[in-house]
Amino acid sequence: MSEQVNILIVDDKPGNILVLEGILENLECNIITASSGNVALGLMLEYDFALVLLDVQMPEMDGFETATLMKGSERTKVLPIIFVTAISKEQWCIFKGYEVGAVDYLFKPIEPIVLKSKVKVFLELYEQKRLLKKQAELLEIRVKELLDLKQVNCYLENLSTLDGLTGIPNRRSFDQFIETSWKNAMREQLQLSLVMVDIDFFKDYNDNYGHLKGDDCLILVAKMLLSSIKRPIDFVARYGGEEFMAVLTNTGKQGALLVAERMKKGIEQLAITHDYSDVAAWVTVSIGVAEIIPQPTDSIMDLIKNVDQALYQAKQDGRNKICCSL
């Protein structure tokens, strides 16, 4: 990370704070602590935080009250909260936490590996948002410097090829890229593969966790998919909603399946909690794979239809699966 980011630990018991600090001490972050909800709210006015680890049971102002006040403030309303607690795991208690803005629950005694993996995800997400903000600021400065109308139009054209949420290429970019790749594959008689990825039960995720957390999920998934392709000639785009498409040039079925498996495992390793999925306790994906050596009688739509059918089969087989077209 370019700069250390802040994490806030809120707990009225010094011993609990020491335990959490010990678990997180090797992460690239600056840990700030608060012994009460009131102190925590004051620190949030002074510092920017990537994440808050918030105890539920505290005197005067408990964790639920603290989270409610955070969500009422413009400065802290989107700040991720993980409740760290030893109280009941009953559904009503968990639901109350999510209602006041929690992104996750961790129950004591804390599993260090679980805590560190979840914190790492939010540190990476915060860093990505910070980088995007810096890029947006630089782009804004650049736009102001553009006096020539043609330059401005070229700049806007470039922006129109990227997905506004995830920052990866959008459907328009995909259409342009697949057309170029198809022509090249037909001319050189090369294999061309598509990998279509769909987030399992994403509507349930959005409906229960809210659209802001849904957006965060899409950003994390997009970043992971982008990191799963290793060659500069390959391409990943947001195809629509919770669907993504990868174009793998000069790659056959076996190579595409390897990439698909890397994508699937990478998403699972993000460990994004999904209590409303029927296949796992975390976010998973279903993937379709199709490949072709284009002939004059073939079309791009044939390949897209095949990969879409493979994805459909993966869903029919129970989701969290990879299926390949025949």
238-282 per-position pLDDT tens digit: 999 999 999 999 999 999 999 999 999 999 999 999 999 999 999
Domain that includes residue 102, residue range: 5-124
Contact (Cβ atoms closer than 8 angstroms) between residue 172 and residue 237: no
Note the pLDDT of residue 1: 47
Higher pLDDT, 270 or 66: 270
- Amino acid code (one letter) for 129: K
* Among 285, 294, 292, 321, CA closest to 306: 292
What residue has token string 């129109």? 160
* Among 65, 5, 72, CA closest to 38: 65
Chain segment 197-220, per-residue pLDDT in tens: 999 999 999 999 999 999 999 999
Catalytic residue among 21, 157, 242, 268: 242
**CATH number for position 102:** 3.40.50.2300
Q: Which two tokens stand for residue 42?
A: 């004051």
Same domain, 214 and 147: no
**CATH number for position 206:** 3.30.70.270
Task: Report d(CA 16, CA 312) in Å as an integer.
Answer: 48
242 carries an active-site annotation: yes
Same domain, 144 and 234: no
Same domain, 22 and 36: yes
Q: Give every CB contact of residue 138 below 8 A, 6+ residues apart in sequence.
A: none
**Over 60: is that where the pLDDT of 159 sits?**
yes
